[in-house]
Amino acid sequence: MNRPPILLIALLITTLVTTCAAIPCRAQHKNPYHLDIIQTDKEYREQARLNPDMRMADLEKMIGGIRLDIRYATTNNFTGEVIYTAPKAYARMPVAKALQKVQDSLAFYHLGLKIFDAYRPYASTLRFYEVYHDTTFVASPRSGSRHNRGCAVDLTLVELSAGRELPMPTGYDDFSPKASPDFTDLPDTVIANRTLLFGIMAHFGFSHYRSEWWHFDFKGWQENKLMDLTFEELEKANEDK
């Protein structure tokens, strides 16, 4: 049997290694439950072309004075791992516009928003579920998260000048009964802060999640597809519009 020359085999291996290094590997985009997920920048650009409301906005660039504390881009989160490739916050355009109105209205009280999380690639939802199986606090990968649709935000209120967080029932990602919006064994100041947050978010089209005071879903989230683009892919796709 004829065997390929060793030099040819070495050349083929070198070519494959070089190609994999030059082109992002699509194997990262897993879909074990066969969901309808946007997994390429081409799909995303086509969606945004057909409906501009599907476009994802960079909240830090769009909303003046907004603050970010993207915990999943650090190890300061419940997984203890760096999950995100960049400390970015994206959301669908209508969500971003509504958050802009929230921020403008809060300025009357000398307050503003701090974002902990917004759009979340589906790959992150898969990892969260591997770490923590309780779907009270972690979205099931069988259906995906509203964060994966670019229609959910995790946030709190801060003093506009100093950036200090207002006292709330718990810190971010506290998986305890105190995180529930219905928990009442709290100081009056904390309840007042939570009530202000819920009221102003509801006024501009957001509903709060039943188990997490910091989590808000924007109306019509069901109309948006799940996505699994990295922040780098998303940023490049927006630049190439």
179 alpha carbon, distance to own chain's centre: 19
Tokens of 87: 């400390």
pLDDT greater than 90 at residue 134 = no
The Cα–Cα gap between 16 and 222 comes to: 41
Task: Provide the CA 74 distance to its chain's centre, in angstroms.
Answer: 14
* Domain boundaries defined on the chain: 36-239
Q: Return the closest-CA partner of residue 124 out of 209, 238, 230.
A: 230
What's the topology of domain 36-239?
Answer: Muramoyl-pentapeptide Carboxypeptidase; domain 2 (3.30.1380)
pTM: 0.86
SS3 of 152, please? strand
Token pair for residue 143?
């259906």
Ramachandran class of 58: left when φ > 0, alpha when ψ lies in -120 to 50, beta otherwise: beta
Q: What was the pLDDT predicted at 213?
A: 98
How far is Cα 162 from Cα 136, in angstroms, rounded to an integer? 33
Alpha-carbon distances of 148 from 46, 55, 86, 174, 184, rounded to whole Å: 18, 14, 16, 21, 31
Q: What is the mean pLDDT of the chain?
A: 90
List pLDDT tens digits, range 20-68. Answer: 333 333 346 789 989 999 999 999 999 999 999 999 999 999 999 999 9
Distant-in-sequence, close-in-space partners of 208: CB < 8 Å, separation ≥ 6 = 181, 198, 201, 202, 215, 216
Where does the pLDDT of residue 240 fall: very low under 50, low under 70, confident under 90, or very high at 90 and above? confident
Instruction: Report d(CA 142, CA 103) in Å as an integer.
Output: 34
